Amino acid sequence: MGKLTTHVLDTANGTPASGMRIDVIRGTGPSAALKSVSTNAEGRTDLPLLEGGDLSAGTYQLVFHVAEYFRARGNQDAGRFLDKVPVVFVIDDAEGRYHVPLLASPWSYSTYRGS
C-alpha cells in the first residue's frame, strides 16, 4: 500500500518542528488543497499525509508554513526571508513509500526523498 509521510526539523534550534502547518496539494496549477495538518511533538504527523486509495500517481506539493512556525516561537527573523516553502514532487508509483522531510530555519531549507 502506497504512503506519503513527512517530518520537519527546526535547524535554527536543533529540535523537531512541533506545530508546523503543512498543506497537502495535488497538482501545481490552481488546485485545492487536499488537507492541512500540523506536526506533532516529534515534528511528524500523527498519520500518513496520504495512503492507499488516496495516493495516486501525479504531481504533489507540500507547503510548509515556515514563517508562521518561527513567528509563533518568537523568532525575530521569522518572515524576513522565508515565508511558505513549497516542495513540488512527483509520485510515479502509487504503491511506493514516499517520505519528504524538511530541515528549516528562517533563512534556509533542505529536503530530500527519505526512506
Domains and CATH numbers, the chain: 3-108 (2.60.40.180)
Give the number of other CB atoms < 10 A from CB of residue 91: 18
What does the pLDDT look like over 37-95, one tens digit per residue? 999 999 999 999 999 999 999 999 999 999 999 999 999 999 999 999 999 999 999 99
The C-alpha atoms of residue 60 and residue 31 are separated, in whole angstroms, by 10
Look at residue 30 in the predicted model and tell me its pLDDT: 67
Amino acid at 101: P
Instruction: Give the burial class of 60: count Cβ atoms within 10 A of its Cβ; 0-12 exposed, 13-18 middle, 19 or more buried.
Output: buried
Please check whether residue 101 is in contact with residue 94, taking contact to mean a CB–CB distance below 8 angstroms: no
Look at residue 31 in the predicted model and tell me its pLDDT: 72
Look at residue 13 in the predicted model and tell me its pLDDT: 96
Phi-psi domain of 94 (left: phi exceeds 0; alpha: psi -120 through 50; beta: other):
alpha
Of 68, 61, 2, 60, the closest CA to residue 39 belongs to: 68
pTM: 0.96
Look at residue 115 in the predicted model and tell me its pLDDT: 86
Look at residue 32 in the predicted model and tell me its pLDDT: 76
